[in-house]
Amino acid sequence: MLVSEDEVLELVAFLVTAARCLMDEPVDYGPMRLLSGAERLCMQAAPRVEDAQTRALLEQLARNIPPHLGRRNGDPDGYLRFVDESCRMIASELLRRAERRR
Amino acid sequence: MITLPDCLECIKTRRVTRYFSDAAVPQEVFVKILEAGRWAPIAGNRRIQHFLAVQNRETITLIRAVSPGMFGHPAALAIICIDWAKLESLGCKRHNHGVYIDVGTAAENMMLAGHALGLGTGPVTSFSTAAVSTILGLPEWLTPAMIVCIGYPAKAQPMGRNVPAKPTLLKDLVSWEQFVGTVSKETA
């Protein structure tokens, strides 16, 4: 198991309480919370991921998400580019792993 | 006696801290911060708040789990709650905006005091009131309105400062004597 039972519950708590908070909050908080959730999962899971390339990707995301969240107002275009680039990297990793399974 | 430059310097140099070191906040320092909240300007001096002071690490971890707006691990929390029973006993309605303004003045006093005492502080309103109330065993008539995170700032602040591309200047905030203009800049 990549994350412990406590960690699973903590992440579920984050996601569900974030959903509730977002019902009253500015729309740009939505992407921020999703990225924060992804960062938390990456931080918890990365040390236990066996595949070095996948682990490196999760570590990179965990490292890079917070500074980009901090710059979302000052550099919205850079924030968008970061999220797009993260999507590309994740898709490439999904592909690599899929090809390995074939 | 505090001097005007000191007071303004404290206001201008305070920043929100999101990430904290593991160092504990000494009890006497925490009390000074809570005391600063007590001295905040409150409408009608009605005191409809209750401060919950939390230092237990496990409790803070649980509250953080249900507070998506809490990024780091603060050493202490000052949770500003609204006492609805007291408010209603005074004849105030629940939709009275002043209730929340009073929460803000207390929080600002606490954060300025924390800054003056060499601590980092950060306000959090993104939390589940239902979940925080459950964790703290709050009665129905007492609801948490704002969490002030307190601790010594971590050396690294991974999020940095959320600085807008265009700073808000005094002229953007203030109209002198009469409002000029009819449409919000955001919707123009």
Number of structural domains (chain A) is 1
Is B181 contained in some domain? no
ipTM: 0.86
Is B123 contained in some domain? yes
Is B39 contained in some domain? yes
- pLDDT tens, residue by residue, B28-71: 999 999 999 999 999 888 889 999 999 999 999 999 999 999 99
Is B59 contained in some domain? yes
Q: In what order do the strands lie in the sheet with B142-151?
A: B49-54, B76-83, B142-151, B120-124
Nearest to A13 among B65, B126, B162 (CB): B65
Is B66 contained in some domain? yes
Residue spans of beta strands (DSSP E) within B11-141:
49-54, 76-83, 120-124
Nearest to B163 among A16, A66, A73 (CB): A73
Is B177 contained in some domain? no
| DSSP state at residue A24 | T
CATH number at residue B55: 3.40.109.10
Please give the pLDDT value at position B160: 83
Is B185 contained in some domain? no
Residue-range definition of the domain harbouring residue B48: 4-159
Tell me how far apart the alpha carbons of residues A63 and B120 are, in angstroms, rounded to a whole number: 22
Please give the pLDDT value at position B184: 65
Instruction: Considering only residues B185 and A23, tell me which one the structure prediction assigns the higher pLDDT.
Output: A23
pTM, two decimals, is: 0.89
Please give the pLDDT value at position B187: 53
- Residue A25 near chain B (CB below 8 Å): yes
- pLDDT tens, residue by residue, A73-96: 899 999 999 999 999 999 999 999
Residue-range definition of the domain harbouring residue A42: 5-101
Q: How far does chain A reach from its first CA to its final CA, in angstroms?
A: 23
- pLDDT tens, residue by residue, A24-67: 999 999 999 999 999 999 999 999 999 999 999 999 999 999 99
Contact B68 A14 (CB under 8 A): yes
Number of structural domains (chain B) is 1
A vs B: CB pairs below 8 A: 56
Q: Among residues of chain B, what percentage have pLDDT more than 90?
A: 74
Instruction: Considering only residues B179 and B76, tell me which one the structure prediction assigns the higher pLDDT.
Output: B76
Is B138 contained in some domain? yes
